[in-house]
């Protein structure tokens, strides 16, 4: 995997949407900093993140994190955690998992044979 010339980072790509103020942005970016390692594979100018919250601090609040990377389907993660900090971590961790899954699916074809193993003819031998 090559590193992008201008790698994406949370700080470069994050926008705050409904329910958050620009003043919340730095605090949210700190919560999402662990995404930087995963985002570094993508160009900063081709990557966008937007976090929003509906009914902030109320029962039933919903945090949404959307990720757009050029040439890939949009990824949307949501959390209904009651505590805002926990909800932000929930959407962050879900996005990281989904980016990892997308990376695994897009590995070069030459590596597929390493992942695809034929089923043993007699599966009971393994038990």
Split into its structural domains, the chain has a count of 1
Domain that holds residue 35: 10-107
Residue 5, domain member (yes or no): no
Residues 6 or more apart from 3 whose CB is under 8 A from it? 40, 41
pLDDT of residue 121: 59
Residue 4, domain member (yes or no): no
Q: Residue 27 sits in a domain of what CATH number?
A: 3.30.160.100
Mean pLDDT calculated for residue range 79-96: 96
Residue 117, domain member (yes or no): no
Integer Cα distance of 91 and 76 in angstroms: 9
Residue 60, domain member (yes or no): yes
pLDDT per position as a tens digit, 35-47: 999 999 999 999 9
pLDDT of residue 1: 47
Note the pTM of the prediction, 2 decimals.
0.79
What share of residues in the chain are helix, strand, coil (percent, to 5)? 45, 20, 35
pLDDT per position as a tens digit, 53-67: 999 988 889 999 999
Residue 125, domain member (yes or no): no
Mean pLDDT calculated for residue range 79-90: 96
Residue 42, domain member (yes or no): yes
Residue 87, domain member (yes or no): yes
With contact defined as beta carbons under 8 Å apart, do 4 and 36 qualify? Answer: no
């Amino acid at each position: 995997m090559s590193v992008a010339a201008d790698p994406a980072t949370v700080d470069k790509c994050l926008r705050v949407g409904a329910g958050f103020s620009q003043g919340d942005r730095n605090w949210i970016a700190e919560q999402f900093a662990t995404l930087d390692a995963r985002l570094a594979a993508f160009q900063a100018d081709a990557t966008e993140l937007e976090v929003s919250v509906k009914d902030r601090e109320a029962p039933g609040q919903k945090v949404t994190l959307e990720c757009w990377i050029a040439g890939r389907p949009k990824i949307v993660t949501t959390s209904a955690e009651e505590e805002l900090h926990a909800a932000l971590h929930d959407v962050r961790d879900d996005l990281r998992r989904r980016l990892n899954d997308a990376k695994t699916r897009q590995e070069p074809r030459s590596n597929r044979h390493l992942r695809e193993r034929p089923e043993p003819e007699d599966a009971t031998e393994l038990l």
